[in-house]
Homo-oligomer: A and B are copies of this chain.
Amino acid sequence: MNKKCIIRLLRYKNALHRLNTLGFVKIFSDNLADAVGVTATQVRKDFSLFGISGNKRGGYQIDALIEKLNGLMGKDELQEVVIVGGGNIGTALMKYKGFEKEGIKIVACFDIDPSKYQKKEKEVSVMALEELKDFVKARKIKIGIIAVPEIAAQQVLDHMLAAGIKGIVNFAPIRLRGSADCVINNVNLVLELETVIYFIVNGLNKMIGEIHEDQKS
Copies in the complex: 2
* Chain B CB within 10 Å, residue with most, of A142, A208, A211: A211
- Which of B79, B174, B209 has a CB less than 8 Å from the CB of A177? B209
Contacts of A129 in B (CB 8 A): none
* A198 at interface by CB-CB < 8 Å: yes
Q: In the complex the two chains form, what is the Cα distance from A107 to B181 in whole Å?
A: 42
Q: Which of A166, A181, A205 has the most CB of B within 10 A?
A: A205
- Contacts A182-B205, A209-B184; A198 near B74 (Cβ below 8 A): yes
B residues near A35, Cβ cutoff 8 Å: 175
What residue of chain B has the Cβ atom nearest to residue A75's Cβ? B201
Stretch among A43-51, A54-62, A114-122, A188-196 lining the B interface: A188-196
Residues 161-195 of chain A, each 1 if its beta carbon lies under 8 Å from chain B, else 0: 00000111100011101111111111111111111
Offer 9 A-B interface pairs, CB within 8 angstroms, sorted by A: A7-B195, A37-B175, A74-B202, A76-B194, A76-B198, A88-B92, A183-B210, A183-B211, A185-B212
A residues bordering B, Cβ < 8 Å?
3, 6-7, 10-11, 14-15, 18, 35-37, 73-74, 76, 79, 81, 88-89, 91-93, 95-99, 101-102, 104, 142-143, 145, 150, 166-169, 173-175, 177-202, 204-213, 217
